[in-house]
Each structure stands twice: as C-alpha cells, then as structure tokens.
Amino acid sequence: MNRVVITGIGVITPVGNDVKTTWDSFLKGKSGIDTIRAFDTSNHTVKIAGEVKDFEPEKKFDPKIIKRLDRCVHLCLWATSEAVADAQIDFNKYDRTQIGVIIGSGIGGLHTWEREHTKFIERGPARVSPFLIPMMIPDMTSGYVAIHWGLKGPNYTTISACASGAHAIGDAFRAIKYGDANVVVTGGSEAPVTPFALAGFSNMRALSRRNDEPQKASRSFDVNRDGFIMAEGAATLILEELEFARKRGAKIYGEIVGFGATGDGHHITAPAPEGEGARRSMERAIKEAGCRKDEINYVNTHGTSTELNDKFEAMAIKNLFGDHAKKLILNATKSMIGHTLGAAGAIEAVVVLLSIRDGVVHPTLNLKEPLPECNGLDFVTGDPRKVTIDYAISNSLGFGGHNATLCFKRFSD
Amino acid sequence: MALFDDVRNIIVEQLHVPPEKVTLEAKFIEDLGADSLDTVELIMAFEEKFNLQISEEEAQKLDTVGKAVTYLEDKTKT
C-alpha cells in the first residue's frame, strides 16, 4: 500500500481569498459572516451568510471560460490554481493518466439553475441556455479542473451534502493508496448563497436567525446557538504518493493515514442519536490510521452550530475516546465562516494541515457557554493554542446521514 | 450596415473575440473559436435581438457571419 502526502493547498473563504489571509483570520478569530450583499433579502427571514468578498475570477481565467461555468466552479478553479502553484508541480513532466481529480460539491451550480429556471418560467423553454446542464451539474468542478490542467487520471465528484469535500479527499487518498493514481487534485467547492437556496435552508429551520449580530450568529457548541449560517467557498489539496513527491523534492504538509465513512440509516436531516454514525466514522478512520485513540491530539469538529449536530457530535467524541476525550484539543472552523457545505470538509482539512505545520490550533468563535454535553471537552476559545500535533482527525457529517472522518499525521520518515 | 453592427456586437459579446475578427467571411467554428453550444447560444441571441424564430434546420446553414447577416436582413425586411 502506498503512503499518501499533501504537497499543495489552496483556499477561498469568507475570510480570505488565499491560504495566508484565511489562516491569519482564523488565528485572529475573525468572523466572515455578514449581511448578504449578493441579492435583496427583504422577503427572506434569514438575511446573513458567509460570502466570499472581492472575487473576480475573470482576472485570473479567460472571461469566455468564466462565462460558461457556474460560480461553484469559479471558486474551485481559484483555490486549485493556488494549490497547484503551492505544490510547484509541472504536470507536463509526468504521466497525465496517473493524475486524477476528485472534488466534492453538495449542490453544484445553483446560481445557474436559478437564473435559467427563472428564464424558463418567464420566457419559455426556447430561452433556456444551452449551457444550463454543463454549468449546473456538480461534477463540472472535477471536470473543468481536468480540462484546464490537462489531467487524465480518475475523475469524478463526490456528493454527500456537507460531507462531500471530506469524501472527495478520502477517495483521493484511497486512489493513491491503492495505486490508481500518483497524484490527485482533490477538495470541495460550494456556491449556495442564492435567494432560492436561502429560502429552502431557512424554511427547514436549519439556519441561525441572528440577523442583527451576524458575527455572533455561528456559535458552534454554545448553548445559545440557533442554527448554521450558509456560506460559500472552496479548498483544493494536492495529494501525492510519497515516493513520487520525494523524487520531485516536494514540500510535505502532512500525511493522510485514515478515512472513515459510515451511514446513519436514520433520518433525512437529523443525525443519529448520540452521533452513533459519527462515532463509527471516527473509529474507522483511526483504525485505518493504525494508531491508538490516545495518540490523537486534535479534533477539528463538524460543529455546525445547530441544535442536534453539536450535541450529538460532542457525545460521539466522548463515547469514542472515553478518558482520553478530556486530553483532546477541539475547535470548530464553522464558528468563523459558517457552513460552506460541500467545501467544508476540504477547508477544514487545510486547517488541520496548517495546525500541524505551525503547531497552533485556531479558536472557536462565540463559544461562551458550552452545552452540557461538552463538559470535560477542551475547546480552544479566545487566543489560538500552541500545541504539537502528531495525529488529528476532522469530521464531516452530511444531510442524508453521510459521515466522513479524515485522519492526518505529522509527516516523518 | 446597422444590422451588421448589431450582429458583430452579439458575436463579440458571446464569443469574446476582438471586433476586427468578425468579418463577413469568418466562420463561427473554424475562425471564431465557437463550439456547438456556443452556436446554439448565438442563434438564441439573434432570435432575441431581432425578435424572430430560427428553426434548427435554418440555423445549421448559418456557419459564417455573412450567411447570418444575409439571413437576418432577409427576415427583418418588412
């Protein structure tokens, strides 16, 4: 079995359009949630979201190409371009059939879907764009990344709602581990901040209604949480087979050593009681990693700021880790940027790698009064925490009962 | 040539080509870099601009800027 390392990262989030800006913001505990700017929310109950700011993809990519791709793909291309540059990999030098692309997206081209559907209703079928389908399908992220960089290895998209990005990275890890590819460009992308999607999520009663205090709305694991905050963003990671990376002298952020995937088999949106599915997902990732549970130092939680997720995820962590749970260091990235759905698992994977690299864990914003289920759990709040991380896990749990956990390890020979 | 100007503007906008490349002889696919989806979108833009309907059969014959201009001039004559 091959070992799999990460050699390049790129992100675009509501707190920064590159890795450095985003990471600095996370360490400072800066919120990216604000009143929605993209459209008029007068008729919406929820008026806040995590929007990417000052994003002009046509400055980096051919405007003709940008016009025929959805914002979901724009964000993905942006993050991928940073990741490829960061990995300093010249694809021309290698067998392109051994370089894959597996990027997750929960929903895909919502902006296109809504715009074209409005045209369809108002002006009839003849006015619907011939680009509707290619712009809308969620797999165009992986498809277009391969077209742009000329990559011909395994290529598909994972769709598991809020766990899509983590499943993509897990599959990318396995593709390299089992020898199907030398390199996989992986991650997640989502652009869900649209009037229609906002109405849908809002009417589920899934979203925070703290419209007057956007920066205080995302309160992962706090007793006063009242829902998650929709957000957009993307993250891309370059995964490589260890010897391949070594031969080309690549810098290594860390190693992926485990991927756990389970299903709740319980409810369309509610997680299984006590986070039973999430617990097994963590358990599987740690089993594949081949480490002991008490070797895990840090858990980047799913932590959405919803009633059930946070309560059950905390229970799952305590149930799985037992006595060691109190020694874990935990945080919730969504407390700062909201929930980027299919991108979240990828953004949080980048967070884990930077935490390992810099020996620091970012704070959880707005966690003032932890819920009772968090008793004995050590969440970082206030200032970032300096800590040496050997093993870390990141959880992603999606509507439909899809659970994914990735296990990362500090790299050493 | 007001109609030609309108046609050229639509092509420049849809295909992101410099205006000077849009000559009467230019072929949409070979010279202006359009693909099959672009040509469908172009025909839709012509229909919109000139308020008419172009059948798929007719549309397939319009492979150059000149043919499109002649067709549209003919159809918009009252």
Q: What is the CATH number of the domain that holds A308?
A: 3.40.47.10
In a domain? residue A161? yes
8 Å CB contact of B16 and A67: yes
Q: How many distinct structural domains can be found in chain B?
A: 1
- Please tell me the predicted confidence (pLDDT) of residue B1: 63
Given a contact cutoff of 8 angstroms between Cβ atoms, the answer to whether A398 and A411 are in contact is: no
8 Å CB contact of A126 and B44: yes
Q: Are residues A272 and A363 in the same domain?
A: yes
DSSP lists the bridge partners of residue A269 as: none
| Token code pair at residue A301 | 């939680």
Of A63, A130, A134, the CB nearest to B16: A63
User: What residues in A contact B34, CB-CB < 8 Å?
Assistant: none
Q: Are residues A171 and A263 in the same domain?
A: no
Q: Are residues A160 and A88 in the same domain?
A: yes
The mean pLDDT of B20-25, rounded to a whole number, is 97
Q: How far apart are CA A192 and CA A111, in angstroms?
A: 8
User: How would residue B77 be classed by pLDDT, with cut points 50, 70 and 90?
Assistant: confident
Q: Are residues A271 and A212 in the same domain?
A: no
In a domain? residue A162? yes
Q: Are residues A371 and A284 in the same domain?
A: yes
In a domain? residue A178? yes
- Please tell me the predicted confidence (pLDDT) of residue A94: 98
pLDDT in tens, chain A (413 residues): 999 999 999 999 999 999 999 999 999 999 999 999 999 999 999 999 999 999 999 999 999 999 999 999 999 999 999 999 999 999 999 999 999 999 999 999 999 999 999 999 999 999 999 999 999 999 999 999 999 999 999 999 999 999 999 999 999 999 999 999 999 999 999 999 999 999 999 999 999 999 999 999 999 999 999 999 999 999 999 999 999 999 999 999 999 999 999 999 999 999 999 999 999 999 999 999 999 999 999 999 999 999 999 999 999 999 999 999 999 999 999 999 999 999 999 999 999 999 999 999 999 999 999 999 999 999 999 999 999 999 999 999 999 999 999 999 999 98
Domain boundary among A247, A280, A296: A247
Domain boundary among A193, A220, A247: A247
Of B16, B40, B44, the CB nearest to A64: B16
Q: What percentage of chain B reaches a pLDDT higher than 70?
A: 97
- Please tell me the predicted confidence (pLDDT) of residue A370: 98
**Residue B72, amino acid:** L
Given a contact cutoff of 8 angstroms between Cβ atoms, the answer to whether A33 and A338 are in contact is: yes
In a domain? residue A128? yes
Q: Please enumerate residues of A whose Cβ is less than 8 A from a Cβ of B.
A: 62-64, 67-68, 126-127, 129-131, 134
8 Å CB contact of B16 and A62: yes
Q: Please enumerate residues of B whose Cβ is less than 8 A from a Cβ of A.
A: 15-16, 37, 40-41, 44, 47-48, 53
Which residues constitute the domain of residue B15?
A: 2-76
Q: How many distinct structural domains can be found in chain A?
A: 2
- Please tell me the predicted confidence (pLDDT) of residue B78: 67
In a domain? residue A9? yes
Q: How far apart are CA A219 and CA A233, in angstroms?
A: 19
Q: Which residues contact A34 (CB under 8 A, 6 or more apart)?
A: A14, A48, A49, A50, A51, A214, A215
In a domain? residue A252? no
Q: Are residues A81 and A198 in the same domain?
A: yes
Given a contact cutoff of 8 angstroms between Cβ atoms, the answer to whether B21 and B32 are in contact is: yes
The angle at the Cα of A331, spanning A53 to A236, to the nearest 5 degrees, equals 45
ipTM: 0.87
Q: Are residues A90 and A225 in the same domain?
A: yes
Here the CATH number for the domain that contains residue B61 is: 1.10.1200.10
8 Å CB contact of A130 and B48: no
- Please tell me the predicted confidence (pLDDT) of residue B2: 86
Q: Are residues A236 and A143 in the same domain?
A: yes
Q: Is B35 noted as a catalytic residue in this protein?
A: yes
Q: Are residues A26 and A160 in the same domain?
A: yes
Q: Which three-class secondary structure state does DSSP give residue A378?
A: strand
8 Å CB contact of A130 and B44: yes
Q: Are residues A216 and A289 in the same domain?
A: no
Given a contact cutoff of 8 angstroms between Cβ atoms, the answer to whether A369 and A223 are in contact is: yes
Domain boundary among A225, A247, A269: A247
Q: Are strands A385-386 and A254-263 parallel, antiparallel or unpaired?
A: unpaired
Which residues constitute the domain of residue A57?
A: 4-247
- Please tell me the predicted confidence (pLDDT) of residue A413: 85
Closest Cα in chain B to A135:
B37
User: What residues in A contact B16, CB-CB < 8 Å?
Assistant: 62-64, 67
Query: Within 13 A of A368's CA, how many CA atoms are on the CB side?
Result: 7
Q: Are residues A193 and A57 in the same domain?
A: yes
In a domain? residue A253? no
Tell which residue, A256, A237, A283, A242, has the closest CA to residue A408: A256
Q: Are residues A277 and A345 in the same domain?
A: yes
**Residue A369, amino acid:** E
Q: From the candidates A76, A162, A374, A407, which is the catalytic residue?
A: A162
